[in-house]
A and B are shown apart, each in its own frame.
Chain A
Amino acid sequence: MKKVMLPVAIAVSAALALTACGGSGDGGSASQSGEPKHVNLSFWHGYTEADGKVLDQIVDDFNKSQDEITITDTTKTWAEIGDTLLTSLSADQGPDIVALPAENLPIYASKGAFQDLGDFYAEDSTQSASLNEQAVSMEKVDGTYYGVPLGFVPLSVIYNKKLFAEAGVDTFPTTWDEWLDAAKKLTIDKNGDGKPEQYGLALPDHATVGNGVWASLFYGGGGGLIDESGQSVIDSDANVQTLTTWANAVIDDHISPTGIDGVKSDNLFSAGKAAMEVGGPWMAGVAKDNGIDYGIAGIPAGPAGAAASAIGISAGVTVQADETEKAAAEKFFQYFFSKDVATKWSLGSGWPPLRTDIPASDVSSNPVVQSLTEIAGTARPLLPGVADSVDVLAAVDEATQKALAGGDPASLLKTASDQASEALSQ
C-alpha cells in the first residue's frame, strides 16, 4: 500500500506545483504562417460611462476597417489602472496600450514603462492633424514623446441656475471681482451661526478636481506652479496675492466650506448646497441626474486674464509591445485622430475635440461640448513632463489647506515652494 501511496503523493504534489506555477501564456500576437502577421493588441482605459461605450465603438470600427490588427479594449476605473499597471507590466501581463491621467504619464515614462513615440509625431498624417499643442505638450518628458492625448479639457465652472435666480444674480460673472460678489450673494446663513446653509462656491482646498483648481486660480492671478525651466514659482508674489484673496473670501465671507476635497465639492453642488463649483465635464451629467438646472462657463478672468488648468488623459504604448505591435498601435492612433473619428469621440466623450481644425460649430449638437470647445483655448496642461508631480501637488495642497484654515499665505507658499524644489531636483 505504501508503495502505491508514495508515487501518488508525489504525483499529486507535482500536479499542484505545476498548476500553481504555470503561467497562462500570451499565445503570441502573430500567426506563424507566411501570411502577413495579424497583430493583436490589448488596450486598457478608464472610460466607464457613456464615453466608454463610444470608445468601444471606435475600437470596433477600427478593427473592422482593416484585417491586420485587432484591438481588444478593457474598461477599468482610473484608480484600478493606477493600482494594477505597475504589477501587470512587471509580470509582463500588462496591456500594449494604456490610457491614464496625463499627470501620471511622466513618472511611468521616466521609469521606462512607455515607448518613444517620436516617429508617430513625425508622420505627415499626425502633423497635418493639427493636434492641440497644449494637449500634445502633456506627452513630452525630457524632450521625448511617450504618449498621445486622448482627452484635454479645461476646468470650468458649473453653476445652479435656480440658486442664481433666487439670489438675483442674472448673468454669470466674467471677472474675479464679479465672481467673488456673486459668491457672497449666493452664500446664505439663515440662522447667523457662521455656518451657511448654502455656499456661493464649493472651493476645495486639497485633492481638487484634476489637482487643477488652485493651479487655475494661480494662472488667472498671473502666477503658476513651475516655470519653463522646470523651477518652482509657487511662492511668487502673484500666487501669494491670489491665495490671500481667496483665503480671505473663504475665512471672512464664508463663501465656501473649508477642508473639502474635489469629491466633497461635487457632493455639495449635487445636493444643492453650493451654487457653483469648479469641475470637469462629467458634472453636467451629475447635475442632470440630480435634477439641477445647470449652466457651464469658463473660469472668470483673474487679474492676468482667463486661464484654466486642464484635465488630460494620455495613452502610451508600453514596453511590453514589440516593434510590430507598436507600429500597429500608432496606426490606431492615426485612425483615432482622423477628423471624423475625433469629432465622434468629442461628442461621445463630452470633451472638446483634440484637433484645432474642428470648430465649436461642428460639435454644436452637444451644447456642453460646444461650451467647452469655446473656452478650450484657455486650457494649460498641469505640470507637463514633471515626474515627481505627487510631491509637488502635495506641497501645494498643504499650503492651500492651511491658508484656508487661517495660515499665512506667504510663508505657506514659501514652504511649499521649497518642498517642490526639493522634489523637482531629485
Chain B
Amino acid sequence: MTTMTQPARRRYRPPRQLGGGGRSSGFRFGRGRGPMAMAFMLPALVILGAFVFWPMISALRLSFTHSSGFGPTTWVGLDNYREILHDPKILKTLGVTGLYTVMFTPTAIVLALALALLLTNKALLGRGAFRTALFLPFVISMAVAAFAWSYLLDPQLGLLNYWLREIGIQLGNVLQDPHLALPAVVVVAVWKSFGFYMVIFIAGLQQVPEELHDAARIDGANAWQRLTRITLPQLSTTFAFVVVFATIAALQAFDQIYVMTGGGPYRHTQTVVAEIYSQGFKKLDLGLATAISYVLLLITLVMSLIQFRFFGSREKDVVG
C-alpha cells in the first residue's frame, strides 16, 4: 500500500507585480522598489531614447524644413507635406507600394500557410529537410538574393531564360518590362521571405489541440471542414501577426528593388522607400525625405491598427 503525503494547503497568492505594485493593479512604485526598477530600466530607456525616440522627434522636426543635413536649414511648415500631395511622381510611388503590398502579402501568406499545412502532415517523410530547404532563402541577405535573381532573369546571359528558351518559351527582359517588372520583384520577395512566415505558421499549427481534430473526425467532419472550422480559426492570432508583419515588410520594400530594377523601368517599381532614398541621398532633400517617411509611418500605423482590430474581433468571435 502506498501512502501519499498531502502537502499543507496554502492560500493562493498571485505573484507580486514587477516594480513592487502590491495588491492594487496598475503601474505603481512602492517601498523603495520604484527607484531601483527605474535604475535598472535606465540603460534600456537611455538607448531607446537616444536611438529611437530622439531620432524620431528630430526627423519630425526635419520634415518641416528644407535641409540637406549640412548648410542652412529653413523652416517651411507644411510645404513638404503639401508637395507630397501634389507631386504626381511621389503619389505614384504610393500607388506602386500599394500594388506591391497587395501582390506580396496575400501571395506570401497563402504560400506559407499551404506549405506549413503540408509540412505538419505527419504522413510526409523528410519534413525537417523540406522545412530547412524552404527556410534557407530567408537566411541570405536580400541584396544577394536580388543579385542572383537578376542574373538568372537576364535575357541574354541568364540561366532561367536559357532553360526556358530550350523548351520554346521566350521570357524576355522581365525586369525592364513595365508590366512584368513589379510582379518579378514581388516573386523574388515572396521566394525570399515565405519561409519565415511558414515557420511561424508551423509553430501556430503545433499549438492547435489534436483533440479538436479527433472530435471533429468522430463527428464526421472532412479535411476541408476541419481546416476551415478548426485550424484556421485557431490560427487567428498567428494570422494577425503574420499579416501585420508581412504588410509592414511590403510597405518597406526597397533593397531588392534597388538592386534589381533601380526603380525602373521609368519608375514602375519605384516604391515609397526607394523614393525616400532618392530624395534623401541623391537629391539631398532631407526635409522632403523625412516628410515622406512620416507619411509612410502613418499609413503603416493605420493599416496595422485596422488589421489588429479586424483580427481582434475575429478572435473574440472564435472565443465567444
| Chain A contacts to B: CB under 8 angstroms | 2, 5-6, 9-10, 12-13, 16-17, 20-21, 82-83, 86-87, 89-90, 107-108, 111-113, 195, 206-207, 257-261, 264, 267-268, 271, 273, 319, 388, 390, 394, 397-398, 401-402
Contact = CB atoms under 8 A, between A and B. Distances in A.
Given A319-B71, A388-B283, A390-B283, 8 more contacts: A2-B36, A6-B35, A17-B46, A20-B51, A107-B283, A112-B68, A257-B173, A259-B155
A20 B45 CA distance: 12
Contacts of A10: 39, 42
B69 A90 contact: yes
A9 B42 contact: yes
Contacts of A397: 264, 266
A2 B20 CA distance: 14
Contacts of B51: 20
Nearest to A5: B36
B47 interface: yes
Find the residue from B50, B68, B286 having the highest chain A CB count within 10 A: B68
B70 A401 contact: no
Contacts of B170: 195
Contacts of A17: 42-43, 46, 50
B281 interface: yes
Find the residue from A82, A90, A259 having the highest chain B CB count within 10 A: A259
A267 B157 CA distance: 8
A111 B43 contact: no
B71 A113 contact: yes
Main secondary structure of the interface of B (DSSP, over half): loop
Interface string B160-194: 00000000001001011100000000000000000
A397 B268 CA distance: 13
Contacts of B40: 9, 13
Contacts of A268: 156-157
Contacts of A111: 68, 70-71, 284
Find the residue from A111, A319, A402 having the highest chain B CB count within 10 A: A111
B69 A89 contact: yes
Contacts of B36: 2, 5-6, 9
A111 B157 CA distance: 42
A306 B78 CA distance: 50
Main secondary structure of the interface of A (DSSP, over half): helix
A363 B211 CA distance: 85
A77 to B, nearest CB: 14
B220 interface: no
B157 A89 contact: no
Top 4 A-B residue pairs of the complex, sorted by shortest distance between their CB atoms:
A112-B71, A90-B69, A259-B176, A9-B39
Contacts of B283: 107, 388, 390
Nearest to B176: A259
A73 B262 CA distance: 30
Interface in B261-287: 262, 264-267, 278, 280-284, 286
A206 B176 CA distance: 10
A82 B277 CA distance: 11
Interface in B240-272: 262, 264-267
Contacts of A390: 278, 282-283
Contacts of B315: none
B122 to A, nearest CB: 48
B177 A259 contact: yes
B265 A401 contact: yes
Contacts of A401: 176, 264-266
A13 B69 contact: no
A273 B157 CA distance: 9
A261 B173 CA distance: 12
B284 A86 contact: yes
Interface in B26-60: 32, 35-36, 39-40, 42-43, 46-47, 50-51
B156 A273 contact: yes
A81 to B, nearest CB: 11
6 contacts: A17-B50, A86-B68, A259-B155, A259-B175, A259-B177, A268-B157
B177 A89 contact: no
Nearest to B265: A401
B156 A107 contact: no
A6 B68 contact: no
Contacts of B177: 259
B42 A319 contact: no
A283 to B, nearest CB: 17
A89 B177 CA distance: 38
A13 B262 CA distance: 44
Given A113-B68, A319-B70, A264 B284 contact: no
A197 B296 CA distance: 45
Contacts of A258: 173, 176
A257 B68 contact: no
Contacts of B154: 264, 267
B72 interface: yes
Given A5-B36, A82-B281, A113-B70, A16 B46 contact: yes
Given A9-B40, A10-B42, A20-B47, A257 B155 contact: yes
Contacts of B156: 257, 260, 264, 268, 271, 273
A268 B151 CA distance: 12
A16 B43 contact: yes
A87 B69 contact: yes
Given A5-B36, A113-B68, A398-B266, A259 B173 contact: yes
A369 B51 CA distance: 50
Nearest to A16: B43
A236 to B, nearest CB: 21
Given A13-B39, A259-B155, A20 B266 contact: no
B157 A259 contact: no
Nearest to B284: A111
A109 B35 CA distance: 51
Interface in B119-158: 154-157
Interface string B88-110: 00000000000000000000000
Given A9-B36, A82-B281, A259-B177, A206 B42 contact: no
A6 B281 CA distance: 46
Interface string B62-86: 0000001111100000000000000
A203 B40 CA distance: 63
B281 A83 contact: yes
A207 B261 CA distance: 11
Contacts of B278: 390
Contacts of A112: 68, 70-72
Contacts of A89: 69-70
B293 to A, nearest CB: 15
B244 to A, nearest CB: 30
Find the residue from A17, A207, A258, A273 having the highest chain B CB count within 10 A: A17
